[in-house]
Structure 1
Amino acid sequence: MVFVKLSIRNLLFSTWKSPVLSTSELELEKGKESQKKGLSLLESRLESIELLMASDKWEDAKLLFRYLTYDLVNFQLTRTDQKEIPFGEDLSHFSIPESEKKFKPFRFLESFGKLAELSGKELDEYFSYALDTYEFLLEESKKDFKARYTTALDRFQRIKQIRIIFLSVVLSLSLFGYLYYQYKYPVLKDQSIKIFTFVNKDKPETSEARMVSLPVLKKDIGNWVEFQFELNESMSNFGGLRIDPLEQRGIHFVLDQIRIFDSQGKEIYFKKIVVSPNLLPEDYQDFLKIIDIKTAGKQSPGEIVEMITTGSDPQIQLVFPTLNDAKKIQFKMKYIEAHKVKKK
């Protein structure tokens, strides 16, 4: 394994600059490139023959098969430092190499003498044997590249590749960690809190015409803030209130109390949201719907309910006896970023 052969010191501190090769190493690199070029030529020959056979151009395919046969034989001779056989000369003295695979390379040589007489089906078999031989030569060449042709450049490229993989993994993990932290512990952004009034629990429909909003500012994080919503005429009579406390998931908040006043400044509704003995918000039946919000952690009876938004469109819908001549709604609230929440 490369990881065993290469020390951590080499991986981390060796130069990123390509090494200077000796004369013998340059010759090895030259031989390696020549062998790769030969493999590319063999692959190109096979592709050309396959196209000719697919078009039933048998005679043209046979002609290319003759060239391919000598190319395959001479590639094997060259890679084993033997003299090439010129095109057209006798191939009977060529020694077929041993193979550990099930198929035997160079089996097409058995039919080479009668290539001109082969039928389409027999040419398919010839092609199959030639392809097997190419695969054999490709595998043997890979072994050559790792053994005979190894130079300092190969070692440098292995180290470079491992470095790139290592850096990619580190960057990916760092990015994942950052995104996960942002998801789990989002930072409060400047946004809005909105309230909608609706008729009653049987008619909970809302509209922009019956909506008022106020800014929620990042600078107020962790502090109690009083929001005072001035209601327009169309919102003065209602029996339900929809509160959109945020536009962001993952933020803790506390809604301490809700107070509603009429046009004379008289308080006509008051609600304090605390934990009941059954650990639900007190007077839970007053909550028509709670969307994208849940209680945050373990809480005790009598405490103000701490909540956390679980989606980007959180809502609390409250219902109560119909109020008339309402003019102002007042909230006392506090927003808390998740990573600043004290564990209980």
Structure 2
Amino acid sequence: MVFVKLRIRDLFFSPWKPPLLTNPELEFEKQKEIQKKGLSQLESRLESIELLLTSDKWEDAKLLFHQLTYDLVNFQLQRTGQKEIPFGANLSSFSIPESDRKSKPFRFLEFSDKLSELKNTELDKILTFAIDTYEFLLEESNKEFKSRLMTTLDSFRLIKRIRILLVSLVFTFSFVSFFYYQYKYPVMKDQSIKLYTFVSKENQQTSESRVVSLPVLKKDIGNWVEYEFPLDESMSSFGGLRIDPLEQRGIRFVLDQISIWDSKGKEIYSKRIIVSPNLLPEDYQDFLKIVDVKTASKQMPGEIVEMITTGSDPQIQLVFATLNDAKIIKLKMKYIEAHKVKKK
């Protein structure tokens, strides 16, 4: 028996063009093509018989069974280099091959002489025997293809398939890795911070008429920036603040301090977002709602809370005592792209 010894270097240094075959190898390839064609015809004939039986066309199925009997026998004879038996001739000279299979091949020959007398229900049994025989011939042929009829062209085809598989795996892995990296560590886009004011905890309604925004510049990523939002008269009185820090998921940010100033330049509200001893943001009860935002990593009490957006509409809503005559809101913030985060 011939085995293909495949080494790693063969994948890279063996020729990329099909090899020139010797005359014996050309003959082997011809034999394999004949056998493959014969197996395909046998399979097609079995399918035709099955369709006839399903359609209750018993007599037509018997005629095709008679032809299939000689096809199966002659395929085995041809495969083993023996003389074929003409159609209609006596099959008693045919020697049934030995097999270790549980379902022995060529059992249908027991019924070949009385095929026309068989009942319709018995034809299904013969079809099963014929299928078992086909599977035996297919298995034996494949064994021969990988042993006696093996050529250098088979080795070339094997290496080619492995090369294609490896290239496909590399491209697939690269493709998946690229998009996973883009999802896991997105690059920050140009966008804006938006602030909405609302009346109170009981009246949380926001509207586009009570909103201010400032752009986030990519050049400021990684740096502390104090964003200053001027408020008009319609937004000067409120008891709640909604902060939309981003419009993109997967971006880290730190909101160090929120401060609100009145028209006289007096600070009337101030809050730092730091980690409390219970590892939640300090004064957690002041947070009415947090949407599409989570803490970014394990942090220690007293540290500024580092957060990361988990959706495309992140919000942080705070409530406090009603403020009047508010003119400016200041946010001290820093944006960080996830792939630039330094591990602790």
Same fold (TM over 0.5): yes
Q: Give 1:194 deviation, angstroms.
A: 1.5
1:172-183 matched pairs, under 5 angstroms: 172-183=172-183
Question: Structure 1 stretch 80-89 or stretch 296-305: which is displaced more?
Answer: 296-305
Match of residue 45 from structure 2 = 45
For 2:138, the aligned partner's letter is: L
Amino acid in the other structure paired with 2:172 = S
Secondary structure, aligned partner of 1:228: strand
Match of 2:125 in 1: 125
Specify whether residues 136 and 303 from structure 1 end up closer, same or farther in structure 2 by C-alpha distance, changes over 3 A only.
Answer: closer
Structure 1 distance, partners of 2:274, 2:57, is 88
Contact 2:3 2:147 in 1 (8 A): no
Distance, in Å, in 1 between the alignment partners of 2:306 and 2:243 is 15
Name the counterpart of 1:16.
16
Partner of 1:97: 97
Which runs of no fewer than 5 residues in structure 1 stay unpaired?
none
1:68 corresponds to: 68
1:285-313 Cα distance to aligned partner (Å, 9 max, x none): 22222233233434444443322223333
Q: Distance in 2 between matches of 1:20 and 1:131?
A: 38
**Contact 2:190–2:217, Cα closer than 8 Å, also in 1:** yes
Distance 1:4 1:132, change over 3 A: closer
Alignment of 1:186-335 (within 5 A): 186-263=186-263, 265-335=265-335
TM-fit CA distance, 1:259 = 2.4
Could you say what secondary structure the match of 1:334 adopts? strand
Q: CA deviation at 1:75?
A: 0.4
C-alpha displacement of 1:139:
0.8
Question: Could you tell me whether the CA contact under 8 Å between 2:296 and 2:306 is conserved in 1?
Answer: yes
Tell me the percent identity. 74
SS in 2 for 1:5: coil
In 1, Cα distance between equivalents of 2:336 and 2:141: 65
| Greater Cα shift, 203-212 or 331-340 | 203-212
Judged with a 3 Å threshold, the aligned counterparts in structure 2 of structure 1 residues 37 and 263 are, in CA distance, closer, same or farther, namely same
Distance 1:238 1:300 in 2: 33
Which amino acid in the other structure matches residue 48 of structure 2?
A: S
Quote the Cα distance in structure 1 between the aligned partners of 2:283 and 2:6.
69
Task: Return the alpha-carbon distance in structure 2 between the equivalents of residues 279 and 123 of structure 1.
Answer: 77
1:108 alignment partner in structure 2: 108
Distance 1:123 1:278 in 2: 79
Alignment check: 8 A CA contact 2:106 2:130 kept:
yes
Range with greater deviation from structure 2 (229-238 or 86-95): 229-238
Q: Name the residue aligned to 2:59.
A: 59
Report SS of the residue matched to 2:37.
helix
Name structure 2 gaps, 5 residues minimum: none
1:264 Cα deviation after fit: 5.1
- Mapped to 2, the partners of 1:83 and 1:3 lie a distance apart of 30
**CA displacement, residues 111-140 of structure 1 (integer Å, 9 cap, x when unaligned):** 111111111012222211111111111111
More deviation in 65-74 or 214-223?
214-223
Matched residue of 2:92: which SS? coil
Deviation (angstroms), 1:20:
1.8
Q: CA RMSD in A?
A: 2.2
Q: Tell me whether 195-204 or 293-302 shows the greater mean CA deviation.
A: 293-302
C-alpha deviations, 1:39-75, integer Å up to 9, x for none?
A: 1111111111111111221111111111111101100
Q: What is the distance in 1 between the residues matched to 2:102 and 2:304?
A: 77
2:27 corresponding residue in structure 1: 27
Distance 2:195 2:146 in 1: 72
Name the CA shift for 1:300/1:80 in 2 (closer, same or farther; >3 Å). Answer: closer
Structure 2 Cα separation of the partners of residues 312 and 82 of structure 1: 75
Match of 2:340 in 1: 340
Q: 2: distance between equivalents of 1:299 and 1:115?
A: 84
**1:23, 1:132 → 2: CA distance?**
35
The 8 Å contact of residues 250 and 310 in structure 2, kept in 1 or not, is answered as yes
Query: Which string of whole-angstrom CA distances, capped at 9 and with x for unpartnered residues, describes residues 220-260 of structure 1?
Result: 11112222223344433210001111122332212122222
Aligned residues: 343
2:243 is matched by which residue type in structure 1?
A: I
1:171 aligns with 2:178: no
Decide which moves more: 119-128 or 261-270: 261-270
